[in-house]
Amino acid sequence: MQIRDQLYIDGRWLAPAGTQTLEVINPSTEMVIGRIPAGTAADAEAAVAAARAAATAWSETAPAVRAAYLAKIQAGLKARADEIARTITGEVGMPLKLSARIQTGSPIAIFGLYAKLAAEFPFEEQVGNSLVLRDAVGVVVAITPWNYPLHQIAAKVAPALAAGCTVVLKPSEVAPLNAFILAEVIEAAGLPPGVFNLVTGLGPTLGEALVRHPEVDMVSFTGSTGAGVRVSELAAAGVKRVALELGGKSAAVILDDADFAQAVKSTVNACFLNCGQTCTAHTRMLVPESRYAEAAKLAVEAAQGFTLGDPLGDTAKLGPLTSAAQRQRVRDYIARGIAEGAELLCGGPEAPAGLPTGYYVKPTVFGRVSPASTIAQQEIFGPVLAIISYRDEDDAVAIANGTPYGLAGAVWAGSDERAQKVARRLRTGQVDINGGSFNLLAPFGGFKQSGNGRELGRYGLEEFLEYKALQLRPAKAA
């Protein structure tokens, strides 16, 4: 049991203003594994005040010095990597081997990336008779989700610090314990007081108080589209900059000349990663009508290889969903798919056998899914794949683009050239070409209701910078 009864504000661990607490539940055991403060508006006020007081000095700190701090944070996370992996597996339910590689490895790499970028980035340049400066936005509120908790924190905190911004972090109350480890690492790295602040609590109380605060210059939010709309509404009153990474309903388009065995297996893997609790999950598999039966058979075979079980064990490929509410939401979507006439190929809404405890859902594949149906249009956030057939290439592109989202996707074809040609027609922020891997240097973000702004690489750093032009006089002749 981890009892966290203090918040990290202005370089110190302080008691929260209120006495309410929130429980952290292990999704595989359904046991309480931690408690955190339920922060209030008074805690938001203290954290923002600390960040504002530190903002000028931090923004004027040399980029090389900021880079050195980020490198220290990276080293501190590396030293506690095993602890972080076990903590996140306990909070989220991802199998431990995957947590070590993804949930821990990714944030470590991100802090290293921004340590390098902070030292190299051109914060000023001459353009004609103007000296163009890139100044820190100021005080940033970072609100992060539970599915990849420390990765999403790193993708906001590291570039914000590299840019010279000060940060108030509010992690998800569902998976907050890893954020306390980060705060301890930052404290040990000696980051100046107020540059990084950690407060925990609920969105409608603490989160909204932070977003509304007049001394906050920018809000970076990752979560549901509905919550992103609310953040935008609240921030608009102060004309704050807002960066949003929201929902997704990504399509993997498998063209008729693709390697179907590889494409279908990879799509199922991309759909079921983290038990489907991934915003970029390839939850729609688009296949030619003439090869539907082949694709459906391959998808079922791949799905049946995803064994459920204890995420701390050695055999499970899928752990539980993160909460009881999430399990019920996913089961309701599966039932809706059946009711709307999709063909249930494997899985289903019933509890999986042999797992009486834990928030488990059967890996599920639907076939003959209508592009307009609920399970083809709405983000389920669980291990549910929808197979949709198409007539021709134009039809496939129209179906892929035919949801409110545009975060990610994939195209599989007999050649990279053909796949790229189709990918250029997709209205989405990221497209994997024949299994191309995720790249931390590339921009990450979405079109349409998947949000705005970009994270990662130099693009993520630029989100936290304002442009200023100094118009220079011509040099006097000698």
Q: What is the structure's pLDDT at 474?
A: 86
How many CA atoms lie less than 13 Å away from 456 in the CB half-sphere?
A: 18
Judged against a pLDDT cut of 70, whether residue 63 lies above it is answered with: yes
User: Burial, 267: exposed, middle or buried (Cβ in 10 Å; 0-12, 13-18, 19+)?
Assistant: buried
Do the beta carbons of residue 360 and residue 326 sit within 8 Å? Answer: no
Contacts of 200 (CB under 8 A, 6+ apart): 4, 7, 22, 36, 37, 38, 39, 170, 171, 173, 176, 179, 206
Q: What is the structure's pLDDT at 314?
A: 86
Residue of 91, 165, 173, 245 marked catalytic: 245
Q: What is the structure's pLDDT at 160?
A: 98
* Residue type at 347 in one-letter notation: G
Neighbour count for residue 221 (Cβ, 10 Å): 28
Concerning whether 208 is annotated as a catalytic residue, the answer is: no
Q: What is the pLDDT of residues 277-324, one digit of tens each?
A: 999 999 999 999 999 999 999 999 999 999 999 999 988 999 999 999
- Where is 124: in which H helix or E strand? strand 124-127
Q: What is the pLDDT of residues 186-244, one digit of tens each?
A: 999 999 999 999 999 999 999 999 999 999 999 999 999 999 999 999 999 999 999 99
Q: What is the structure's pLDDT at 133?
A: 98
Spatial distance between the Cα atoms of 408 and 432, rounded to a whole number of angstroms: 8
Pairing of strands 364-367, 343-346: antiparallel
Cα 155 from chain centroid?
8
290: tokens are 């003439």
User: Burial, 279: exposed, middle or buried (Cβ in 10 Å; 0-12, 13-18, 19+)?
Assistant: buried
Spatial distance between the Cα atoms of 374 and 332, rounded to a whole number of angstroms: 11
Do the beta carbons of residue 53 and residue 235 sit within 8 Å? Answer: no
CA distances from 192 to 46, 68, 69, 76, 436 (A): 16, 13, 10, 16, 40
190: tokens are 């000696």
Residue of 173, 279, 379, 463 marked catalytic: 279
Spatial distance between the Cα atoms of 174 and 203, rounded to a whole number of angstroms: 11
Q: What is the pLDDT of residues 401-448, one digit of tens each?
A: 999 999 999 999 999 999 999 999 999 999 999 999 999 999 999 999
Q: Which residue segments constitute the domains of the chain, with CATH numbers given?
A: 2-246+451-469 (3.40.605.10), 251-439 (3.40.309.10)
Judged against a pLDDT cut of 70, whether residue 52 lies above it is answered with: yes
Concerning whether 165 is annotated as a catalytic residue, the answer is: no
| Mean pLDDT score of the chain | 97
Q: What is the DSSP letter of 373?
A: S
pLDDT: which is higher, 314 or 96 = 96
State the average pLDDT over residues 17-26: 97
Spatial distance between the Cα atoms of 52 and 56, rounded to a whole number of angstroms: 8
Percent of the chain predicted with pLDDT > 70: 100
Do the beta carbons of residue 185 and residue 80 sit within 8 Å? Answer: yes
Contacts of 373 (CB under 8 A, 6+ apart): 337, 340, 341, 342, 386
Spatial distance between the Cα atoms of 433 and 441, rounded to a whole number of angstroms: 17
* Residue type at 339 in one-letter notation: A
Entry pTM:
0.97
231: tokens are 């953040």
Spatial distance between the Cα atoms of 42 and 57, rounded to a whole number of angstroms: 24
Q: What is the structure's pLDDT at 477?
A: 67
Judged against a pLDDT cut of 90, whether residue 476 lies above it is answered with: no
Residue 435's nearest CA partner among 261, 287, 293 is 261
Residue 464's nearest CA partner among 163, 119, 221, 111 is 163
Cα 215 from chain centroid?
26
Q: Where are the alpha helices (DSSP H) in 355-456?
A: 374-377, 393-400, 416-423
State the average pLDDT over residues 376-399: 98
Q: What is the structure's pLDDT at 475?
A: 78
Residue 179's nearest CA partner among 222, 144, 141, 219 is 144
Q: What is the structure's pLDDT at 478?
A: 64
First-last CA distance in the chain:
75
